[in-house]
Structure 1
Amino acid sequence: MHSSGLIELEAVLAVARHGGFRAAAVDMGMSRSALSATVAGLEARLGVRLFNRTTRSVSTTEAGEQFIARIAPALADIRGAMEATNELRDTPTGTLRLNSSVGAAQMIFAPVVLEYLRRYPDMKVDIVTERRMIDIVAEGFDAGIRLAEAVPRDMVAVPMSGEQRMVVVASPQYLQKHPAPQVPDDLMAHRCVRWRFSSGIVYRWEFARHGEAMTLDVPGPITLDEPLLMLEAARAGVGIAYMGMFHVAEDLASGRLVPLLEEWSPSYPGICLYYPSRRNVPAGLRAFIDLVREVIELPGR
């Protein structure tokens, strides 16, 4: 076989998995033109076209589907053999690909990711942050990091934090001009920093106390979808914000922000690392999981 045969086969699988060359090139760590040339070179030697290409779409040909069905299990076996050998090394090597929300990545970056790179200098970490949930297997990630309630049920989940808490906050400057709300309904007369989900739906603030629960579609002059921007708006006195304690802890400690309605603030499940259930977990991921369990302190552990 051609010396670059394995790369070519992995390239074909990546294009088929992503349904196009752009995302597959990112997955492979190649330029789009280099990936296209790699696949075209293999097609030329095979004497068949594996993909139908147009300016708008890429799809597998019948020959391509048959070829992929044959090579996918073989490449899986090869990867398994390589991972089994990797586990015999003193330290793992390779690239760990993680998909995470921005907030979750911020929470674990210093205590876990940076420590992981220090302990395992032969490993590289590739983190993609985005708000939308994806199929981590289909898009070529080793694991994901999300709120526990969002983890797919067919995944193995490893807790990375205890319960988190939401908190209503405002700047001292804002509270000098507006009376602090005493109950959640008071927020309807305030200026609030509204929060939009990636789906486009504006979040209704949730409150609970002594078995009583309510949600409010609060009014406000600005609607944002990024926690760091929401934090900046609250600091600037634009309005009252509703955020996770992780994002505002330093501001509360310094007095830049003031907590409100504390007895009404609910908690929610923390974040989890999750990955597909399989017999042979890659050595790099196994080392990451072990580190998470070592450095993350959870209640009851």
Structure 2
Amino acid sequence: MSKPTLTDLKAFKAVAEHQSFRRAADLLGVSRSSLSHTLRSLERRLGTRLLHRTTRSVSLTHSGERLLMRLGPLLGELDTLLEEASSLEGRLTGRLRINGSEAAIRLLLQRVVPAFLARHNGVELDLVAESRLVDIVEQGFDAGIRLREAVPKDMVAIPVGGSMRFLAVASPDYLKGKPIPETPEQLTMHRCIRQRLPSGKLYRWEFQLHGQEVAVDVPGAMTLDSSQLMVEAAADGLGIAYVPEPYAQPYLRDAMLVTVLEAWCPEIPGLHLYYPNNRHVPPSLRAFIDVMRE
């Protein structure tokens, strides 16, 4: 009987950790049918069932749990050894996976990625932009990048790009003939473009001035779940939007938007790259952080 290959074991680990053939197949870049065939072949080689499968779920058998418990640290150590061996020759290899919001990934593409790839072209960057906050360990990412307030407290967090603000913005056409709001409460007299958070809840706009904090459940005939779409809708005169400053800046420069309540929009801790504090940091991530700091 032939022994399992490293590919077989990595396939099992991916399915076991994600408890999903679909997510594991996406992570490994293979089809679900191919991944299912690999796992069945592995079970035949080992002579034991590793997974309970139904049409809706995947769970580990007792044998699967024991294998995963021993296999996870071994594969992690092997990946680290291979990366360190290649780095000793001055060339990093492997894949670096980072998850973040669209704005965060865009910032990396503009400021960090070109310099990193020019210096370390043997590393494959896998950058995933999504609005919802995910567990980067569970989803198989090396790092995440989010606003500081969203970073889990047990993570190492490194600032990226300094502080930032959320701005209330509207088009000059929308504001023409309307009273300019001077306090957050006066937003209730306006048409606002509301935001739905990834959790499904509507975002209450948060303002602060001289230590006074105000959260407003603004009125509006439209709700969006994308900051980019919100700023575009505001530029089209559909109402007032409350968006991260980087999204609004191009429109402010071109006078397509103006700010309102700017004094009520203080700076907050901006984007941070973060990673688990209880794991060995891969050489490729250390190199990425070095370039980011530069």
Q: TM-score range by the shorter chain?
A: over 0.9
Tell me how far 1:4 sits from its aligned partner: 6.4
CA distance in 2, matches of 1:106, 1:197: 20
Amino acid at match of 2:99: N
- 1:215 maps to 215
Q: Residue 297 of structure 1 aligns with which residue?
A: none
TM-score, scaled relative to structure 1:
0.93
Taking the TM superposition and a 5 Å limit, the aligned residue runs for 1:21-170 are 21-170=21-170
Equivalent residue letter for 1:47 = G
Q: Which moved more, 1:9-18 or 1:147-156?
A: 147-156
Q: Is the 8 A contact 1:86 1:283 kept in 2?
A: no
- Normalising by structure 2, we get a TM-score of 0.95
Letter of the 2:56 counterpart? R
CA contact (8 A) 2:4 2:42 kept: no
Q: C-alpha separation between the residues in 2 aligned to 1:168 and 1:293?
A: 30
- Could you say which residue in structure 2 is the equivalent of 1:255? 255
Structure 2 partner of 1:299:
none
- In 2: Cα distance, 1:165 partner to 1:76 partner: 39
CA distance in 1, matches of 2:187, 2:207: 12
Q: Distance in 2 between matches of 1:60 and 1:184?
A: 52
Deviation, 1:75, is 2.0
Q: Which whole-Å CA distance do the structure 2 matches of 1:144 and 1:254 have between them?
A: 32
CA distance in structure 2 between the partners assigned to 1:213 and 1:30 by the alignment: 50
Deviation track 1:16-43 (CA, whole Å, cap 9, x = no partner) reads: 1000211111121211111111111111
Say how many residue pairs are matched. Answer: 294
Q: What residue in structure 2 maps to residue 17 of structure 1?
A: 17
2:273 equivalent in structure 1: 273
Please state how far the C-alpha of 1:174 moved relative to its aligned partner: 0.7
2:121 is paired with a residue whose SS is coil
Asked if 1 retains the 8 angstrom alpha-carbon contact of 2:192 and 2:221, the reply is: yes
Q: CA RMSD in A?
A: 1.7
Distance 1:70 1:210 in 2: 55
Say whether the 8 Å CA contact 1:18–1:139 is kept in structure 2. yes
Q: Which runs of 5+ in 1 are unaligned?
A: 295-301
Tell me: CA distance 1:2–1:246, structure 2 relative to 1, closer, same or farther (3 Å): farther
1:87 counterpart SS class: helix
Equivalent residues of 1:96, 1:126 under 8 A apart:
yes
Q: CA deviation at 1:157?
A: 1.0
How much does 1:128 deviate?
A: 1.5
Q: In structure 1, how many angstroms separate the alpha carbons of the residues matched to 2:6 and 2:77?
A: 13
Point out where structure 2 has 5 or more consecutive residues left out of the alignment: none
Equivalent residue letter for 2:253 = A
Q: Deviations over 1:137-174 (max 9, x none)?
A: 12111101011111112211111021111211110111
Q: Deviations over 1:229-257 (max 9, x none)?
A: 10111011000111111111111111010
Amino acid at match of 2:267: S
Percent identity over the alignment?
49
